[in-house]
Amino acid sequence: MIASANMQLSARAGIRAVIAIAATVIFWEVTSRSGEWTGVAIPMMSVIPPPSRVLLAWYGLIGDFGYWQSWYLSFLRVLAGFGAAMLLGIPFGMFLALSRTFYQITFPPFEVLRPIPPLAWVPAAILFWPTQELSIAFITFLGAFYTIVINVVGGARSIDARYVQSAYAMGASRWTLFRRVIFPATLPSIIVGAAVGMGITWEVVVAAEMISGGGSSMGQGAGSGTGGGLGFFIWNSYTGGSYEQIVVGMISIGIAGYLSSSAIRVLGNLIAPWLKAR
Amino acid sequence: MTEAARKIEQRPLRGAIRIEDAVKIYGDPQSGVIAVDHCSLECPPGEITMVVGPSGCGKTTLLNAIAGFHSLTSGKIYLDGEMLCGPGRPKADPGPERIVVFQNGALFPWKTNLDNVTFGPMMQGTMSASEARDKARILMAEAGLSSIVHEYPGQVSSGMRRRVEIVRALMNDPKVLLLDEPYRALDALTKSVMHESLLQTCYRNRVTVFFITHDLEEAIFLGDQVAIMTSRPCRTKKILKIDLPHPRDHHTRTTKRFRELMDETMETVHEEAQKAFELGEREG
């Protein structure tokens, strides 16, 4: 009974989602084509290529090496920056939460650097890092790092004292206390930080690619978008006048971001199954 | 009788707690808040001592001092004649012979119920993993928890969580169980079942119980003695021996003696509750 009711609910949700997306696409198609159909062009919307032409352009890109190269490069940069942010951010946040001395020394400079938007780092990063690739990865790293650290600190500091007390009473040593109690108790916050950080990473990588020119070594693929990452793909389509491809690039980033968050969700459920169980 | 049960039966009683002149002042010793004021109390080994008093009177402070979570300003606490804390040593070390079951529970949500229960012996290295698991399964079965062994605490009812937590405490073979209003959040029916289950556990394991509550009926039903505490600062006002025969079950609640004991204590407890109420009024 309950199962079928749930299925009905999710079926209804699915139908609503399809209708909403379809309505948006139809609205977009009609408004952007009204100029050629009725002779009355709708301001602003008529500049945007209609979804049918976008799809056509996308279809043309499916076999295009440069397009997939863009996906690959952006993913690589996101993974590098995000991975480094997790690798450094989790222990850094743990130290901040657990050692008062470390907190007092490092938190003030951290808090001064934190409000600087990652994109403000672009020129400095280009000057500092020997290759363009490293500077882009550095900027994506910054995007995720602060969020992850703040979440880890918050999570580790709000651990219920009773967990620690009962673990001590049951004979846990300092190290096992950290490994068996403090770390798993912080995991939910780490997962939240990772999900938010992943979103920021995609925002940042695209902007960094646009600004820095998408990496030095790639530059052949002609007008069909070169292999400089999805951000550079969009920028290149814009300068090349291929407006359909701009939209293709935008939707591609949307899909890539969605895939990344889904991966984080799946991984989160795997390493913290008790959260799903609730 | 199983061999394990016979072993417990033949073991000399242990877990006598003696609190002597305990004082706890929060903040500055001269001007701070006095939570516990020269409180003395003796908990006989293998018996259930119920500590009753108005909310916020300082009972939990006392429990934390026994557990070794907080220090005492002065006074001494002994366990089986051995000093846990006293002059020169204001804070006892927490240890597996004194296990606390908290008001809202402290099961680790990231471990299954079974892994929660085996945590203590694994940490102390007193049992191998398979020994701990076997013992845990037996104790959980006795407490009616066989069906939820592999579930997470978040997946089971709060009554079950309390029972899991008491099993987790027993796995450490404690001398003393320190219970801080563990059944507060439960409904009356679940509570009465939990009471009987706790008594069964105590009969089987012969462990000393220090049980904080402000439910008088609970105190009389479970206790071998009931210590009624004054409202802030906490001091022992009256100690009442409960002569209801063991084993007790829910029929005990309807006996004449139970009613008499309720009447006897109600007056004292009400007096303190009234004082706490007025104190609260003034502070508010």
The tens digit of pLDDT for each residue in B212-247 reads 988 888 888 888 999 888 877 888 888 888 888 888
To test the contact with chain B by mutation, choose from A160, A162, A164, A166 the residue with the greatest count of B C-beta atoms within 10 A, namely A166
Q: Which residue of B has its CA nearest to A162?
A: B106
Closest chain A C-alpha to B117 CA, distance in angstroms? 11
DSSP characters for B204-236?
A: HH--EEEEEES-HHHHHHH-SEEEEEPSSSB-E
pLDDT of residue A93: 94
Closest chain A C-alpha to B71 CA, distance in angstroms? 14
The tens digit of pLDDT for each residue in B103-153 reads 788 899 999 999 999 999 888 888 888 988 998 998 888 888 889 889 999
- How would you classify residue A131: left for phi > 0, otherwise alpha for psi between -120 and 50, otherwise beta? beta
* Residue from the list B96, B151, B152 with its beta carbon closest to the beta carbon of A171: B96
pLDDT of residue A15: 93
pLDDT of residue B2: 65
Instruction: Compute the C-alpha angle A157/A137/A125, nearest 5°.
Output: 100
DSSP characters for B55-104?
A: TTSSHHHHHHHHHTSS--SEEEEEETTEEEEBTTB-SPPP-TTEEEE-TT
Contact B121, B83 (CB under 8 A): no
Average pLDDT over residues B26-42: 84
A277 and B155: CB-CB below 8 Å?
Answer: yes
Q: What's the pLDDT band for A224 if we cut at 50, 70, 90?
A: very low
pLDDT of residue B284: 37
The DSSP call for residue A250 is: H
Q: In chain B, what residues touch A187 (CB-CB under 8 Å)?
A: 110
Q: What's the whole-number average pLDDT of chain B?
A: 84
B233 prior amide bond cis, ω within 30? yes
| Spans of all domains in chain A | 1-48, 49-277
Q: In chain A, what residues touch B154 (CB-CB under 8 Å)?
A: 274, 277-278
B106 and A171: CB-CB below 8 Å?
Answer: no
Could you tell me if B96 lies within 8 Å of chain A, comparing CB atoms? yes
* DSSP SS3 for B2: coil
- Name the strand (E) or helix (H) holding A259: helix A243-271
ipTM value? 0.82
Closest chain A C-alpha to B127 CA, distance in angstroms? 13
pLDDT of residue B272: 78
Contact B232, B279 (CB under 8 A): yes
Q: In chain B, what residues touch A159 (CB-CB under 8 Å)?
A: none
Q: Which two tokens stand for residue B152?
A: 């997470």
Closest chain B C-alpha to A4 CA, distance in angstroms? 22
B152 and A163: CB-CB below 8 Å?
Answer: no
* Residue from the list A160, A176, A185 with its beta carbon closest to the beta carbon of B123: A176
Give the dihedral of Cα atoms B65, B67, B68, B69; nearest 10 deg.
Answer: -80
A181 and B124: CB-CB below 8 Å?
Answer: no
The tens digit of pLDDT for each residue in B68-109 reads 888 888 888 888 888 888 888 888 888 888 888 887 888 999
pLDDT of residue A145: 94
pLDDT of residue B33: 83
Nearest one of A21, A73, A49, A95 to A229, comparing CA atoms: A73
Whole-angstrom Cα Rg for chain B: 19
Contact A198, A214 (CB under 8 A): no
* Residue from the list A169, A176, A184 with its beta carbon closest to the beta carbon of B95: A169
Q: How far apart are CA A109 and CA A87, in angstroms?
A: 20
Q: How many CB pairs under 8 A join A and B?
A: 65
The tens digit of pLDDT for each residue in A6-56 reads 777 788 889 999 999 999 999 999 998 888 888 888 888 888 888 988 998
Q: Does domain A49-277 have CATH number 1.10.3720.10?
A: yes
pTM score, whole prediction:
0.80
The tens digit of pLDDT for each residue in B187-213 reads 888 888 888 888 888 888 888 999 998
Closest chain B C-alpha to A278 CA, distance in angstroms? 6
To test the contact with chain B by mutation, choose from A170, A271, A276 the residue with the greatest count of B C-beta atoms within 10 A, namely A170
A272 and B98: CB-CB below 8 Å?
Answer: no
Question: How many helices (DSSP H) and strands (DSSP E) are in chain B?
Answer: 8, 10
Q: How far apart are CA A8 and CA A13, in angstroms?
A: 9
* DSSP SS3 for B180: strand
Could you tell me if B78 lies within 8 Å of chain A, comparing CB atoms? no
B247 prior amide bond cis, ω within 30? yes
Q: What's the whole-number average pLDDT of chain A?
A: 86
Provide CB contacts within 8 A for A67, sequence distance 6+. A61, A224, A225, A233
The tens digit of pLDDT for each residue in A155-203 reads 999 998 889 989 988 988 889 899 999 999 999 999 999 999 999 999 8
Q: Which of A99-103, A249-253, B5-9, B89-93 has the lowest mean pLDDT?
A: B5-9
Could you tell me if B166 lies within 8 Å of chain A, comparing CB atoms? no
Q: Does domain B15-97+209-283 have CATH number 3.30.428.10?
A: no
To test the contact with chain A by mutation, choose from B110, B111, B170 the residue with the greatest count of A C-beta atoms within 10 A, namely B110
Q: In chain A, what residues touch B99 (CB-CB under 8 Å)?
A: 166, 169-170
